[in-house]
Structure 1
Amino acid sequence: RKPHIVFLYYYFPPMGGGGVQRIVKWLKYLDYSHLDVSVITVKESHYYAADPSLLQEIPDAVRIVRTDSFDPFRLAAWLKKRDTSPKNKELPRESSDWLRRLSAAVFIPDSRVGWFPFALMALLHLHREHPIDGVVASMPPYTAGLVGAAFHAWQQVPLILDYRDAWCGNAYFPKRPGMVEKIHQWLEKTVLNHASGVVFVNPALQRHVKARYPLNTPGAQTVIRNGFDPDDFRDLPVPPPAPPVRVGILGSVYSRGNRPLLLLNAISALVREEPELKDRLRVCFIGKWSPGFLEFARKFPFPEMIEWHPYLPHHQALQEAAKCHALSLTIEDIPGSHAITPGRIYEYLALRRPVLAICPPGSDLASLVESTGAGTVIAPNDLEGLKQAIRALLRNPDAFTPPENSGYLTTFSRQEQTQQLYQFLQHVLDF
Structure 2
Amino acid sequence: MKRALIITYYWPPAGGPGVQRWLNFVKYLGEFDVEPVVYAPQNPHYPIRDEDLLQQIPTGVEVIKQPVKEPYRLAGMFSKKKTKRISSGIISEKSPGMLEKLMLYIRGNYFIPDARVGWVKPSVIFLKDYLKEHSFDTIITTGPPHSLHLIGLQLKEISGIRWIADFRDPWTTIHYHKSLRLTKSSEEKHKKLELEVLRKADHIVVTSVTTKKEFSEKTDQPISVITNGYEVTEEITPIPDRKFSLAHIGSLLSERNPVSLWQVLSELCGENKNFNDDLLIKLVGVVSDEVLRSLEEFGLNKHFRTEGYVPHKEARQLQHNAQVLVLLEMDKPETRAIIPGKLFEYLAAGRPILAIGPEGSDIAKILDDTGAGSFLNPAQKKELKEKLLELYQAFQQGTLRIQPEGIERFSRRELTRSLSEIILKP
Corresponding residue of 1:399? 399
Q: Note the C-alpha offset of 1:353.
A: 0.5
User: In the alignment, which residue of structure 1 is the partner of 2:216?
Assistant: 210
In the aligned structure 1, how far is the partner of 2:80 from the partner of 2:63? 34
- Give the TM-score of the pair, scaled to structure 1: 0.88
Aligned-partner Cα distance in 2 for 1:294–1:162: 35
Distance in 1 (alpha carbons) for counterparts of 2:81 and 2:260: 34
- Cα distance in 1 for partners of 2:145, 2:80 equals 28
Determine the structure 1 residue equivalent to 2:71: 72
Q: Find the aligned partners of 2:109 and 2:285 in 1 and give their Cα distance.
A: 27
Alignment CA distance shift 1:113-1:236 (3 Å): farther
Aligned-residue RMSD, C-alpha:
2.5
Name the counterpart of 2:165.
161
Task: Give the corresponding residue for 2:145.
Answer: 141
> Separation in 1 of the partners of 2:9 and 2:248?
26
Is the Cα–Cα contact under 8 Å of residues 37 and 61 in structure 1 kept in the other structure?
Answer: no
Contact 2:29–2:36 (Cα < 8 Å) also in 1: no
TM-score relative to the length of structure 2: 0.89
Shift in Å at residue 61 of structure 1? 2.7
Residue in 1 aligned with 2:240?
Answer: 239
Aligned 8 A contact 1:374 1:402 in 2: yes
SS at match of 1:339: coil
- Paired residue type of 1:143: S
**Residue 37 of structure 1: SS of its match in structure 2?**
strand
SS in 2 for 1:419: helix
Secondary structure at 1:231 match in 2: coil
**Could you tell me which amino acid in structure 2 is paired with residue 66 of structure 1?**
K
Identity among equivalent positions (%) equals 30
**Which segment is superposed worse, 38-47 or 369-378?**
38-47
| Alignment partner, residue 260 of structure 1 | 258
Q: Which runs of 5+ in 2 are unaligned?
A: 92-99
The alpha carbon displacement at 1:118 in A equals 2.8
Task: Using the TM superposition, give the Cα deviation of residue 89 of structure 1 relative to its aligned residue in structure 2, in angstroms.
Answer: 9.2
Closer, same or farther: CA 172–217 of 1 in aligned 2, 3 Å: farther
1:282 equivalent among 264, 277, 280: 280
State the match for 1:84 in structure 2: none
The alpha-carbon distance between structure 1 residues 375 and 24, as it changes in their structure 2 partners (threshold 3 A), is same
- Which residue matches 2:22? 23
How far apart are residue 200 of structure 1 and its match? 1.2
Aligned to 1:410: 408
**1:83 paired residue number:** none
For the residues of structure 2 that align with 1:169 and 1:14, how far apart are their CA atoms?
29
Deviates more, 1:146-155 or 1:120-129: 120-129
**What is the deviation of 1:157?**
1.8
Is the deviation greater in 267-276 or in 161-170?
A: 267-276
Q: CA deviation at 1:274?
A: 3.7
Would the aligned equivalents of 1:260 and 1:329 in 2 still touch at CA under 8 Å?
A: no
State how far apart, in whole Å, the 2-side matches of 1:411 and 1:417 are. 7
2:199 and 2:220 in contact (8 A); partners too: yes
Paired residue for 1:117? 121
Q: Which range moved further: 263-272 or 376-385?
A: 263-272
The verdict on how the C-alpha distance between 1:90 and 1:409 changes in structure 2, with shifts beyond 3 A counting, is same
Where 2:155 maps in the other structure, the secondary structure is helix
Given that 2:198 and 2:215 are in contact with CA atoms closer than 8 Å, whether structure 1 keeps it comes out as: no
| Matched residue, 1:222 | 224
Provide the C-alpha distance between the structure 2 equivalents of 1:50 and 1:22, rounded to a whole number of angstroms: 16
User: Which structure 1 segments of 5+ residues have no match?
Assistant: 81-86
Q: After TM superposition, give the deviation of residue 383 of structure 1 in Å.
A: 1.4
Q: Which stretch has the larger CA shift, 332-341 or 22-31?
A: 332-341
Mapped partners of 2:291, 2:241: distance in 1: 28
C-alpha distance 426-182 of structure 1, shift in aligned 2 (>3 A): same
**What is aligned with 2:84?**
92
Equivalent positions of 1:257-336 (< 5 A) are 258-274=256-272, 277-336=275-334
Conserved 8 A contact 2:270-2:276: no
Q: Is 2:191 the counterpart of 1:185? A: yes
